[in-house]
Amino acid sequence: MEYGFIKTAAITPKIEVADCARNAEVIAEGMEQAYQAGAQIVVFPELSLTGYTCGDLFLQESLIRGVSRALRHLAEKSLECPGMMSFVGLPVLFEQKLYNCAAVIQNGEILAFIPKKHLPNYSEFYEQRHFMPAPEENRRILWENKEIPFGNHILLACENMPALIIGAEICEDLWVASPPSIALAAAGATLIVNLSASDETIGKDEYRRSLVKGQSARLLCGYVYCDAGDGESTTDMVFAGHNLIAENGEILTESEPFHNGMIITEIDVERLLYDRRRMSTWVSQTEGYEKIGFRLPQTRTKLTRPISCHPFVPADDRRLEMILSMQANGLKKRLSHTHADRAVIGISGGLDSTLALLVAVRAADQLGWDRNRVLGITMPCFGTTDRTRSNAELLCDRLGIECRRIDIADSVRVHFQAIAHDEKKQNVVFENAQARERTQILMDVANGCNGLVVGTGDLSELALGWATYNGDHMSMYGVNASVPKTLVRYLVRHEARKTEDPSLKNVLLDILDTPVSPELLPPQDGEIAQKTEDLVGPYALHDFFLYYCIRWGFTPEKIEYLAEYAFQGEYEKKVIHRWIQNFYRRFFQQQFKRSCLPDGPKIGSVALSPRGDWRMPSDASQDLWRLE
């Protein structure tokens, strides 16, 4: 339960059609298995207590009595799994009619019976022959001398974790045009469970997966889908036990078809609530829904779900290509709109300027320009090494663009004299004067050739304020503005992999191998003396902090917890703790630089543009965040 994580399981037991006592035993075994694995919510298939394929046996008195005895047995068995909530499918007799229901069981009690609303009556499914659809309003049913809520307008609300509210639907309910889960989510449900008996046909698994994935995305919810499997009758159909657990459009885990058993993972309900808060089109409608309170044990949920240590990096090359295309198309439009004759870029031999140049070349190609209309300018000074200068010039040459070298050392010295600064004093004045001189040269050269200065600074630098105000902080269009440093590296590597020019590949690989540095301090023995990650911390950590802070609004405590899990074996806890403190300090102190950013294309779900994506006062206090 800690940090909003709820461990959920879906179990397909091997049942025996119409043998309620035996089925209750295997379901009880499944409950114990889930409990031992740490599950707090466990879901079983539709009509699993009897078997979905009983047919006209559902109408037999013997089966109905067998169901009642089996349910009593399961309620007693649930006492051996204290706190865990189980959803079990069964037929329920109410006012002389049968209903296809989910029984909600916890701590020896039945909390609710939730009947299916949409009953199929086509092809191999004839549920309307045996069952009635859920009544329009909730009712009460007498079971074991207790009145139990009965209806599908029921929500189960966790009293000691308000973010967890559970709703249930059954199989066909998901496949209709207006599933009950839509109204359940609007009424507050953050977790939807689906007890299903979906037969298998060719291609149906893909469609089922897309349904579950899509429903969890549009409803901003967790979704646990539990399917019938081996043990059902195969008279006219087969069941694959295709179980899925999804969260907000992502399949967290799923079972292999035709393999009965358990899948288990954690759903982050706090993450879901954050998206609902920030989405202005999300409208809550709670009228007509009954909330049943329950409590879960206060335990730390052991994480097993995958959490990438590089959350900004896509999993496939297609998305990398899409990112490059978005950057190039943004720049193409700006060059076209401003009637610029040239794109002007400062080339340092580092990752950011390399990516910006690759994007500019793409934009030039799309515009039908000769590549010489892209102008790369190298501006060596006190901290420039032979390696980076050579790589900058080689990169321009292999891409077929014009390259100019403008040594700025003398002009910076003149500036030092003008402001009475001792060159031997290598402080912030010494460093930033070089950065501002470079920006001035780029702007003036661009003015002279009717060009547009393409910015190279990335999202990570903007978050940390690692830019010289009105130096590399400024440009006429920042193509990397929403691309974090970890993603910059992957994009450059992607271009290196796909190029057929071995010379270009070699220079890109060497740039990737070069330490990240602003190169503003003199080299030591010809090598880079100023390594950015030694000063501000590893970009892998900062990008991780940035993603979960901005995209999901997590607390620093939760972000640190996730970082320890994601980076275990790579960074010690004390290292993560040190740099997350540094992240929040810099993020709050450096907002003023982000308040006046140049335009740049939004690439992913995290951007810091002051014109829409991130609006924050420059004088906001960091105390609440740093105290955590």
Q: CA of 83: how far to CAs of 262, 319, 595, in Å?
A: 19, 43, 49
Both structure tokens of 350:
């580092």
How far, in Å, are 34, 178, 189, 312 from residue 272 at the CA level?
A: 24, 21, 10, 19
Alpha helices by DSSP H, 168-282: 172-175, 180-186, 204-218, 269-278
Q: Comparing C-alpha atoms, which of 442, 12, 384, 69 is closest to residue 196?
A: 12
Q: Residue 6: what are its φ and ψ, rounded to 5°?
A: -115, 125
What are 609's two structure tokens? 């543009």
The closest alpha carbon to 255, from 220, 222, 218, 224, belongs to: 224
Task: List residues with catalytic annotation.
Answer: 46, 116, 171
Q: Do 408 and 426 contact (CB within 8 A), yes or no?
A: no
Closest CA to 107 of 35, 5, 29: 35
127: amino acid identity, one letter: E
Collapse the DSSP code of 578 into the 3-class scheme (helix H, G, I; strand E, B; otherwise coil) and give the result.
helix
Helices (H), 567-622: 573-589, 591-594
User: Two tokens at 118?
Assistant: 């949409």
Cα end-to-end distance, the chain, whole Å: 19
Q: CB-based burial of residue 319 (10 Å sphere; 0-12 exposed, 13-18 middle, 19+ buried)? A: middle
User: Chain-centre distance of CA 510, in angstroms?
Assistant: 32
Cα 532 to Cα 1, 93, 137, 538, distances in angstroms: 38, 70, 63, 8
Q: Which tokens in the block code for residue 470?
A: 């009105």
- CB distance 360 to 479 below 8 Å: yes
CA atoms of 130 and 120, how far apart (whole Å): 11
Cα–Cα separations (whole angstroms), residue 554 to 64, 545, 561: 49, 9, 11
Question: Which residue from 64, 61, 57 is spatially nearest to 92, judged by alpha carbons?
Answer: 64
CA–CA separation, 329 vs 333, rounded Å? 6
The encoded tokens of residue 559 equal: 């972000």
In contact, 600 and 481? CB cutoff 8 Å: yes
β-pair type (261-268, 85-94):
unpaired
Give the span between the Cα atoms of 341 and 190, in whole angstroms.
53
Tokens of 628: 């955590």
